[in-house]
Chains A and B, each alone.
Chain A
Amino acid sequence: MNAHPMNNIRSLFEPKSIAVIGASTDTRKIGYTVVNNILAGGYRGSVYPVNPSGGTVLNLPVHRHIKDIEDDIDVVCTVIPAPRVFESVQHCAAKGVKYNLIITSGFSEVGNSEEEKKIAAYALDHGMRIVGPNIFGIYSAASSLDATFGPGNILPGNVAIVTQSGALGLAMIGKTKVDNIGLSSIVSVGNKSDVDEADLLEYLMLQERTRVIFMYIEGIKNGERFITALNQATRHKPVVVIKSGRSARGAVAAASHTGALAGADEIVDAILRQNGVLRADSIKDAFNLCKFLASAPLPATENTLIVTNGGGIGVMATDACERHQICLYDDSETLKDLFSPVTPSFGSTKNPIDITGGANSASYDSALTVALNTKDIGASVALYCETAIFAAADLQKTLEEVYLKYAERGKPVLFVTVGGEDIENCITALSRKGVPLFGDVYEAIACLGCLYSYQRYLAAQSDSFEDAPIDIGPIDAICRKAIKENRYFLLAHEAQKIMEIIGITVPKTAVAKNLAEAIDRAEAIGYPVVMKIVSRDIIHKSDAGGVALDLENKDEVIDAYQAIMSSCKAYNPNAQLEGVEVAEMIQKDIETVVGARRDPVFGPVIMCGLGGIYIEVLKDVAFRSCPLSRREIMTMIKETKSYPLLLGVRGQEKKDMESFISTIVKISSLIRKSKTISDIEINPLMVYEQGLGAKAVDVRILLSKERGKLP
């Protein structure tokens, strides 16, 4: 991640001084609430209200102008009307303010983008960073700073929240308090005219106090920088994200709401997963996850043990474990040896361990202590359906003690209790103490699944990115030639030439300008051959009757040539027909697709999956951002439903996976290194049996008008 050259983001979270421009004595105004929250929150630095009217606010003297403050100012909160913000920003910059939190709204979110850009540009030119506009402020437990116009009394803790939505952020402040989630910080980024999520991650990922980062995102502006920041942050601590705008309608709502554009959800989803981000669908899921991850240690092994007093809830938990790819410890002999002493004879020592409806708090303590002491068990889940055998108060005490024992030994444990009022009270009480106690088995197991998923991600982080050496010079030359001809796509033979340069096998091909040449080329390549029209005016060759397949002799070549020329002339009488491409007719096998594009938001992304003519119908593809590791490539391939085809189904031989992976690596490297290529698609990439390689049958390459501008 590139740290901003101007100043340290620490000043934003731990400022020595703060000024509130627009501070007010009117208790109904944001200018009052912000000052009040700063003071009530116990901020340890200096506070300077600013208002041309002067006077005092909450017993603090009000400065008429920021320049009147003698002290240096680290952070300013701007709460004045939008038309006056630019002038104020000028004064703040002159004063040497490091961060200006523009709480004021009325900028790009309502179409006033020019003013917003002007403010951000001016601030950056004068060494000041802007947060917002259109935000609710910042809370930072590190400096006991609550510079928001939220409800106040924020519970300090170790979850950091970054939100693009101000209103939702304010609501979350209240909700975290109810759910007993302590915050290390909460920041809204609003319209992100300057400071964005990537800047904040830079601080939060290294801040010891923060154990989990939760982000609510609507649109992403600088995707490549965001990906880099996420990738680094998730190596330090879990990052939970709600990315709204999944649906087309949702994306429109997001755009009109904050002025930011929401990216295509398939790409967003793939990139978040690739970078170890845990994506939540709802605030409730996200809070459950944050609360759990903030205190849960990482399991030492993938084996999970479930202890239950009821069969039904045990089965539900087992189902949930399968869904969330949680491995249940299944060494039946060992389980029997370990748990027989703590399980009634009519119970079960198979995982889930059923200590039966007659279990009391001691039974749970015993079983869970055995699990705690067993090295091969990485995490435990205790399920309790309310019975009359023991009182909820006992349960509460036992669960708390068990939790503390587990915490001390660094092993995760989750509790699920289902029952009436007493149980609900128990849940509330233990939740306040940070004990991971859930009222729903699926919610609990989902959290544990995320913990394992995060652990697997961390284990894979030692992998290096795959890269293919590419001689970009000749590739650029081919692209430049096309651009000089005012053409932003490559002709088939040009695309094939590029494939040859990067070492991807293509069928033997040659271009013929007339029938005699077509016959010569076909004879040289060897029958059977394929013939396709070459014309810059005909992109969809099949639609124009410009393709003939499986030509087995000279007579068939002659007929096909006539058919192609005649059909294409009829299809587009003005088309310039440059000849035909004669190519080796390739053997059929598994038709895959490998594509890459330079996404306007996220930069280079790669796609692989099932290719051929049904690609758009079946949509069995997976995306990743580039570059990516070999393990990530394999994960991407395995994500597609057609992956078993590559392993060989119904007696077929295994396919050449190495060639498939190698093609993905080469295309990923090409899209990253080329300055002009915007899209590449190989469809189909025919993958043959192991050892026989793969062939790029059809290659389309598009050039970027923006990046391809010639000097």
Chain B
Amino acid sequence: MNKLVIAALRGSAGKTSLIVGLSKASGKSIGYIKPFGDRLLYSKKRLWDYDAALIADVFSIAEEPETMSIGFDHSKLRYMYNENTIREKVVELAAQMSAGKDILMVEGGKSITYGHSVHLDALSLARYLNGQLLFMIGGDDDTILDDIMFLKKNVDLTGIDLTGIIVNKVHNVRDFREVYLPELTKIGVRVLGVIPYERAFTYFSLRYLADKLFAKVLTAEHHLDRKIKNIVIGAMSGRGAQNKPSFRKEDRLIITGGDRSDMIVAALETDAVGIIITNNNLPPSNIISMAEERGTPLLLVNPDTYQVQRQIEQLEPLLTKDDPAAIELLTSLIREHVDLSAIGVS
């Protein structure tokens, strides 16, 4: 059975997407663990990792997502484990989750160093499990090169089966292959795939936004799966807004205050995908009714408009279980641009 440990040098490289794409493309049954969860979800006193929940859903894994991680914060891991006991726990967890599966996907922490002080960084995981290590590296071309060079020259990979590197989010794949790939090959870096940048993966849904902003959904809860492609801050007058080009962009989210009835009405009349109402300022009831009638979700949040905008800027768009089109696109990209046989999943 293959045990693939997916690691990254930096956050948001696309590890989970790679796991989903590889697993789908392989057509094999998979088990999954993410020993150090970092995208935690906490609800009704249950704690689990977003990625674990996604994989469990997409691949219909019977085990609960809560059981796929050992901890989510250094404090617990430091409190409960030492280097030996954490190793034992990881091995035990891997054995449980891979039983009866063709491949065990092991997702590392958000960066190469993450979890090192509690012995749960990706390199440690690869060593504990004797797994194949696969690095996912993404960013602009220069960052990708910096990271790969750094990895090659400064990271001690002794005792690790480094299967190779997959480069992600490349804006011009042909250029990358022609200009940089030969150089990397020359210094002995095994690049197993170059995946192009795909804008569709940068969109997130209203539901994801509502969860992340702790928003109260006032209306049209059934339309929370709508994707947001553009964000407009509703600070101008309602009448002025309708004349702005940004107000005509497709699938736009409007952020404005609950006392800005003019702006909310303008957003509703121009079919905004959703509206975030800031400052916990409940709009008048007739406006709420209008939004409900038009099927436009109103999300009520406590922070002010500026803070909400900042929070949204910091959000990373994640793959969601209820987006089969994105998963299909991802799978086809992996099939087309990644050497599956070299990884042993073909």
Residues of A within 8 A of B (CB): 514-516, 540, 542-543, 545, 548, 550-552, 556, 558-563, 565-567, 616-617
Given contacts A545-B214, A563-B72, A567-B42, 9 further A-B contacts (CB under 8 A): A514-B79, A515-B75, A542-B214, A543-B302, A559-B45, A559-B46, A561-B73, A563-B42, A566-B40
Q: How far is the CA of A409 from the CA of B40 in the complex (A)?
A: 82
Cβ contact within 8 Å between B75 and A559: no
Cβ contact within 8 Å between A562 and B72: yes
Instruction: Give 26 A-B contacts (CB < 8 Å), ordered by A residue.
Output: A514-B79, A515-B75, A515-B78, A516-B79, A540-B303, A542-B214, A542-B302, A543-B301, A543-B302, A545-B42, A545-B214, A551-B45, A552-B45, A556-B45, A559-B72, A560-B45, A561-B73, A561-B76, A562-B75, A562-B76, A563-B40, A563-B42, A565-B75, A566-B72, A616-B280, A617-B282
Cβ contact within 8 Å between A548 and B72: no
Chain B contacts for A540, CB-based, 8 A:
302-303
Instruction: Give B213 Cβ to nearest chain A Cβ, in Å.
Output: 8
Cβ contact within 8 Å between A550 and B73: no
Contact with A along B235-260 (1 / 0, CB 8 A): 00000000000000000000000000
Q: How far is the CA of A560 from the CA of B71 in the complex (A)?
A: 12
Chain B contacts for A556, CB-based, 8 A:
45
Cβ contact within 8 Å between A563 and B214: no
Q: How far is the CA of A514 from the CA of B302 in the complex (A)?
A: 28
Q: How far is the CA of A62 from the CA of B69 in the complex (A)?
A: 99
Instruction: Give A549 Cβ to nearest chain B Cβ, in Å.
Output: 8
Cβ contact within 8 Å between A558 and B76: yes
In the complex, whether B47 has a CB less than 8 A from a CB of chain A is yes
Cβ contact within 8 Å between A563 and B303: no
Instruction: Give A495 Cβ to nearest chain B Cβ, in Å.
Output: 20
Q: How far is the CA of A705 from the CA of B190 in the complex (A)?
A: 63
Cβ contact within 8 Å between A543 and B40: no
Contact with A along B59-103 (1 / 0, CB 8 A): 000000000000111011011100000000000000000000000
Q: How far is the CA of A366 from the CA of B78 in the complex (A)?
A: 96
A514: nearest chain-B partner, CB-CB:
B75
Q: How far is the CA of A627 from the CA of B342 in the complex (A)?
A: 82
Instruction: Give B112 Cβ to nearest chain A Cβ, in Å.
Output: 19
Q: How far is the CA of A545 from the CA of B303 in the complex (A)?
A: 13
Q: How far is the CA of A511 from the CA of B38 in the complex (A)?
A: 25
Instruction: Give B253 Cβ to nearest chain A Cβ, in Å.
Output: 19
Cβ contact within 8 Å between A515 and B76: yes
A561: nearest chain-B partner, CB-CB:
B75
Chain A contacts for B47, CB-based, 8 A:
559-560, 562-563
Chain A contacts for B73, CB-based, 8 A:
515, 561-562, 565-566
Q: Which of A540, A543, A616 has the most CB of B within 10 A?
A: A543
Instruction: Give A575 Cβ to nearest chain B Cβ, in Å.
Output: 13
Chain A contacts for B80, CB-based, 8 A:
558
Instruction: Give B158 Cβ to nearest chain A Cβ, in Å.
Output: 32
Cβ contact within 8 Å between A562 and B40: yes
Instruction: Give B73 Cβ to nearest chain A Cβ, in Å.
Output: 4
Q: How far is the CA of A515 from the CA of B76 in the complex (A)?
A: 7
Residues of B within 8 A of A (CB): 38, 40, 42, 45-47, 71-73, 75-76, 78-80, 214, 280, 282, 301-303
Q: How far is the CA of A542 from the CA of B73 in the complex (A)?
A: 19
Q: How far is the CA of A46 from the CA of B42 in the complex (A)?
A: 86
Chain A contacts for B71, CB-based, 8 A:
562
Q: How far is the CA of A548 from the CA of B219 in the complex (A)?
A: 26
Chain A contacts for B303, CB-based, 8 A:
540, 543
Q: How far is the CA of A548 from the CA of B47 in the complex (A)?
A: 12
Instruction: Give A517 Cβ to nearest chain B Cβ, in Å.
Output: 10
A551: nearest chain-B partner, CB-CB:
B45
Instruction: Give B19 Cβ to nearest chain A Cβ, in Å.
Output: 21
Instruction: Give B203 Cβ to nearest chain A Cβ, in Å.
Output: 21
Instruction: Give B103 Cβ to nearest chain A Cβ, in Å.
Output: 29
Chain A contacts for B302, CB-based, 8 A:
540, 542-543
B47: nearest chain-A partner, CB-CB:
A559
Q: How far is the CA of A561 from the CA of B73 in the complex (A)?
A: 8
Instruction: Give B66 Cβ to nearest chain A Cβ, in Å.
Output: 9
B75: nearest chain-A partner, CB-CB:
A515
Q: How far is the CA of A542 from the CA of B301 in the complex (A)?
A: 11
A570: nearest chain-B partner, CB-CB:
B314
Q: How far is the CA of A542 from the CA of B213 in the complex (A)?
A: 11
Q: How far is the CA of A515 from the CA of B47 in the complex (A)?
A: 16
Chain A contacts for B72, CB-based, 8 A:
559, 562-563, 566
Instruction: Give B340 Cβ to nearest chain A Cβ, in Å.
Output: 34
Q: How far is the CA of A616 from the CA of B282 in the complex (A)?
A: 9
Q: How far is the CA of A674 from the CA of B79 in the complex (A)?
A: 43
A569: nearest chain-B partner, CB-CB:
B73
With A562-B47, A616-B280 already in contact, the answer to whether A548 and B76 are too (CB < 8 A) is no
Q: How far is the CA of A516 from the CA of B282 in the complex (A)?
A: 41
Instruction: Give B119 Cβ to nearest chain A Cβ, in Å.
Output: 17
Q: How far is the CA of A548 from the CA of B78 in the complex (A)?
A: 21
Chain A contacts for B280, CB-based, 8 A:
616
A515: nearest chain-B partner, CB-CB:
B75
A516: nearest chain-B partner, CB-CB:
B79
Instruction: Give A612 Cβ to nearest chain B Cβ, in Å.
Output: 14
A556: nearest chain-B partner, CB-CB:
B45
Cβ contact within 8 Å between B75 and A548: no
A616: nearest chain-B partner, CB-CB:
B280
Q: How far is the CA of A545 from the CA of B38 in the complex (A)?
A: 15
B212: nearest chain-A partner, CB-CB:
A570
B281: nearest chain-A partner, CB-CB:
A616
With A543-B303, A562-B71 already in contact, the answer to whether A550 and B76 are too (CB < 8 A) is no
Q: How far is the CA of A552 from the CA of B44 in the complex (A)?
A: 12
Instruction: Give A638 Cβ to nearest chain B Cβ, in Å.
Output: 27
Instruction: Give A169 Cβ to nearest chain B Cβ, in Å.
Output: 37
Chain A contacts for B214, CB-based, 8 A:
542-543, 545
Q: How far is the CA of A565 from the CA of B73 in the complex (A)?
A: 7
Partner of B45, one of A542, A550, A561, A566: A550
A549: nearest chain-B partner, CB-CB:
B45
A563: nearest chain-B partner, CB-CB:
B42
Instruction: Give A6 Cβ to nearest chain B Cβ, in Å.
Output: 48
Chain A contacts for B301, CB-based, 8 A:
543
Instruction: Give A528 Cβ to nearest chain B Cβ, in Å.
Output: 10
Q: How far is the CA of A680 from the CA of B170 in the complex (A)?
A: 56
Chain A contacts for B282, CB-based, 8 A:
617
Chain B contacts for A550, CB-based, 8 A:
45
Instruction: Give A388 Cβ to nearest chain B Cβ, in Å.
Output: 53
Q: How far is the CA of A548 from the CA of B72 in the complex (A)?
A: 16
Instruction: Give A118 Cβ to nearest chain B Cβ, in Å.
Output: 41
Chain B contacts for A561, CB-based, 8 A:
73, 75-76
Q: How far is the CA of A545 from the CA of B45 in the complex (A)?
A: 12
Q: How far is the CA of A542 from the CA of B42 in the complex (A)?
A: 13
Cβ contact within 8 Å between B42 and A560: yes
Instruction: Give B172 Cβ to nearest chain A Cβ, in Å.
Output: 33
Q: How far is the CA of A560 from the CA of B72 in the complex (A)?
A: 10
Instruction: Give B79 Cβ to nearest chain A Cβ, in Å.
Output: 5
Q: How far is the CA of A562 from the CA of B78 in the complex (A)?
A: 12
Q: How far is the CA of A548 from the CA of B280 in the complex (A)?
A: 21
Instruction: Give A389 Cβ to nearest chain B Cβ, in Å.
Output: 54
Q: How far is the CA of A189 from the CA of B262 in the complex (A)?
A: 41
The 6 closest A-B pairs by CB, nearest first: A563-B42, A562-B73, A559-B47, A515-B75, A562-B72, A515-B79
Q: How far is the CA of A617 from the CA of B284 in the complex (A)?
A: 11
Q: How far is the CA of A556 from the CA of B75 in the complex (A)?
A: 14
With A543-B214, A543-B303, A561-B75 already in contact, the answer to whether A548 and B40 are too (CB < 8 A) is no
Instruction: Give A578 Cβ to nearest chain B Cβ, in Å.
Output: 14
Q: How far is the CA of A545 from the CA of B73 in the complex (A)?
A: 14
Q: How far is the CA of A492 from the CA of B73 in the complex (A)?
A: 24
Q: How far is the CA of A565 from the CA of B47 in the complex (A)?
A: 13
Chain B contacts for A542, CB-based, 8 A:
214, 302
B301: nearest chain-A partner, CB-CB:
A543
Q: Which of B40, B45, B46, B71 has the most CB of A within 10 A?
A: B45
Chain A contacts for B38, CB-based, 8 A:
566
Chain A contacts for B46, CB-based, 8 A:
559
B77: nearest chain-A partner, CB-CB:
A562
Q: How far is the CA of A561 from the CA of B77 in the complex (A)?
A: 12
